Amino acid sequence: MSTTELLRVSCDTSDGAWRIRLVGEADFSVLDDLIGALQGVTVRPGQEARLDVGRLQFVDLACMRSLVDFAQRAERLGARVHVEQPNATFTRLRGMLASDAPARV
Most confident of 12-16, 25-29, 99-103: 25-29
Tell me, yes or no, whether 103 lies in a domain: no
Tell me, yes or no, whether 50 lies in a domain: yes
Report the predicted TM-score, pTM, of the whole model to 2 decimal places.
Answer: 0.84
Q: Which residues are 18's β-sheet partners?
A: 49
Q: At what angle do helices 88-97 and 61-76 cross, to 10 degrees?
A: 70
Tell me, yes or no, whether 86 lies in a domain: yes
Torsion region of 24: left, alpha or beta (phi above 0 gives left; psi -120 to 50 gives alpha)? left
Range of the domain at 73: 2-97
Tell me, yes or no, whether 87 lies in a domain: yes
Tell me, yes or no, whether 104 lies in a domain: no
Q: How far, in Å, CA of 74 to CA of 93, rounded?
A: 20
Q: Tell me how many domains the chain contains.
A: 1
Q: What is the pLDDT of residues 28-57, one digit of tens each?
A: 999 999 999 999 999 999 999 999 999 999
The CATH number of whichever domain residue 20 belongs to comes to 3.30.750.24
Tell me, yes or no, whether 105 lies in a domain: no
SS3 50: strand
